[in-house]
Amino acid sequence: MRQPADQKPSFSVATLRKAVPKHCWERSLLRSSAYLLTDLAMLAALVYASLFIDTAPVPPAVRWLVLWPAYWFFAGAVATGRWVSAWGWGVGVGWGGKGHLDEGRPRGTVSWTR
């Protein structure tokens, strides 16, 4: 059964935070950099592999119905993750986590326009 959107949930943000292990909240420049480099390497490998899709020794239908959609999905997933990270840094989430304090509130936020 779904809860109506105008009702508060039966749990609090504090409850959710307590459910996540403490090590997940610890920041690590080394770990974050490793994730970034891994994502960039995956994206580079996918772009390189895409150069050979049109010359793959498979029927054209396989190229257009399997290989290209697989490339679009995986490259899109990795690139979207990088875009979200860059956007977060752009609005200040990366600098002290204060970029979204007013999110969802009509006053005092840049996400609402008049």
Examine residue 37 and state whether it is found in any structural domain, yes or no: yes
Q: Are 73 and 42 in contact (CB under 8 A)?
A: no
Examine residue 42 and state whether it is found in any structural domain, yes or no: yes
Angle among Cα 59, 64, 68 to the nearest 5 degrees reads: 120
pLDDT tens digit sequence for 55-91: 999 999 999 999 999 999 999 999 988 888 777 676 6
What average pLDDT score do residues 92-97 get?
55
Q: Which residue in this structure is represented by tokens 């304090």?
A: 101
Report d(CA 3, CA 47) in Å as an integer: 43
pLDDT tens digit sequence for 30-48: 988 898 899 999 999 999 9
Total domains in the fold of the chain: 1
Distance of CA 33 to the CA centre of its chain: 15
Q: What is the pTM of this model?
A: 0.62
Examine residue 52 and state whether it is found in any structural domain, yes or no: yes
Examine residue 6 and state whether it is found in any structural domain, yes or no: no
Q: What's the pLDDT at 114?
A: 40
Residue numbers of the domain that contains 51: 20-89
Q: Which residue has the higher pLDDT, 20 or 2?
A: 20
What average pLDDT score do residues 19-33 get?
87
Examine residue 62 and state whether it is found in any structural domain, yes or no: yes
- Residue 111 burial class via C-beta count within 10 angstroms: exposed 0-12, middle 13-18, buried 19 and up: exposed
Q: Which residue has the higher pLDDT, 100 or 29?
A: 29
Examine residue 54 and state whether it is found in any structural domain, yes or no: yes
44-52 long-range contacts (CB < 8 A, ≥24 apart) are 46/71, 46/74, 46/75, 46/78, 47/75, 50/75
